Amino acid sequence: MPDYMYRHIFAVMKIVVAIYTIFCFFCMLSSCAVSNNPMRHQLKLLQKGIIKDDTSFVYHLPYEENKTHLLVQGYFSQYTHMHRAALDFKMKKGTKVCAVRDGVVMRIKKDGNRGGTNIKYRPEGNYIVIQHEDSTRSGYWHLKHDSIFVKVGDVVKQGQVIGLSGRSGYTYFPHLHFIVWRYDKNDKWTQVGTRFQTQKGIRYLRPFRFYRNKKTTN
Ligand SMILES: [Zn+2]
């Protein structure tokens, strides 16, 4: 076989290997891009309104009435919520954070004064955890240094301002990371999805959408 034929075959083989490598890379990405947690599927049905017989508690959005915030990560979203039923609301530092329902403050951290994209900042995240009457708990993360207005044991009312948002802990930008947990049959705390009262009605929130908190007072 002449030389140029070898060169031709070799070039074709290189292209095939390159295409195969790219194909494998995208397969790998797509296989790890979604969680196989069954709750993810159930939440999708709830978000789309396909499951309708929902009698679960309706939560107050974790910010003031008549205010609007963008949800930047939803339940089981890609990036850092891949395996979490958690919500990230974009908020400027110093935004008032409100209790989503009545409860008792279980834990707080308020002395963290550093935050950033390095995982070493994770323990610096300021937070509030509140227990509710049905034994579920809600958690508010990345709060501003020394800006928590409640203490452990305090009784809080739905809509009460409990602290200010910030950028403490392991985070790329100022936001509120919000979670609800339920103590399940296997004696484990499990994150769960919840629905919220918004200006447009009761919703399971979806990422990249703005949600205005309903004005209930005059
Ligand atoms: Zn988050």
pLDDT single digits (tens) 87-129? 999 999 999 999 999 999 999 999 999 999 999 999 999 999 9
Structure-block tokens of residue 190: 């499990």
Cα(13)–Cα(138) distance, integer angstroms:
56
Is there a contact between 98 and 110 (Cβ–Cβ < 8 Å)?
A: no
Where does residue 111 rank: exposed (0-12), middle (13-18), buried (19+ CB within 10 A)? exposed
* 54 alpha carbon – ligand 1 mean position (Å): 25
Phi, psi of 194 (to 5 degrees): -135, 160
* 68 alpha carbon – ligand 1 mean position (Å): 18
Can you give the pLDDT at residue 32?
46
Cα(33)–Cα(42) distance, integer angstroms:
17
Report helix, strand or coil for 54.
coil
Q: Which residues span the domain enclosing 108?
A: 53-212
Is there a contact between 214 and 106 (Cβ–Cβ < 8 Å)?
A: no
Can you give the pLDDT at residue 29?
46
The reply to whether 207 falls in a domain is: yes
Cα first-last separation, the chain: 88
The reply to whether 2 falls in a domain is: no
Can you give the pLDDT at residue 121?
92
What CATH number corresponds to the domain at position 76? 2.70.70.10
The reply to whether 39 falls in a domain is: no
The reply to whether 69 falls in a domain is: yes
Can you give the pLDDT at residue 68?
97
* 101 alpha carbon – ligand 1 mean position (Å): 20
Is there a contact between 39 and 193 (Cβ–Cβ < 8 Å)?
A: yes
Say if residue 192's pLDDT is above 50: yes
The reply to whether 57 falls in a domain is: yes
Q: pLDDT category, 82, cuts 50, 70, 90?
A: confident
Q: Which amino acid is at 218?
A: N
**Sign of the dihedral through C-alpha 65, 146, 173, 94:** positive
Average pLDDT over residues 21-37: 57
Average pLDDT over residues 191-218: 91
* Strand partners for 210: 70
The reply to whether 102 falls in a domain is: yes
Percent over 90 (pLDDT), the chain: 61
**Most confident of the following: 5-19, 72-86, 175-189:** 175-189
* 84 alpha carbon – ligand 1 mean position (Å): 8
Say if residue 151's pLDDT is above 80: yes
* 165 alpha carbon – ligand 1 mean position (Å): 13
Place of tokens 């200006």: 199
Q: Which of 1-10, 37-46, 80-89, 110-119 has the lowest mean pLDDT?
A: 1-10
Q: In three state form, how does the secondary structure of 153-169 look?
A: CCEECCCCEEEEECCCE
**Most confident of the following: 11-25, 129-143, 176-190:** 129-143
The reply to whether 94 falls in a domain is: yes
Task: Report how many domains make up the chain.
Answer: 1
* 19 alpha carbon – ligand 1 mean position (Å): 35
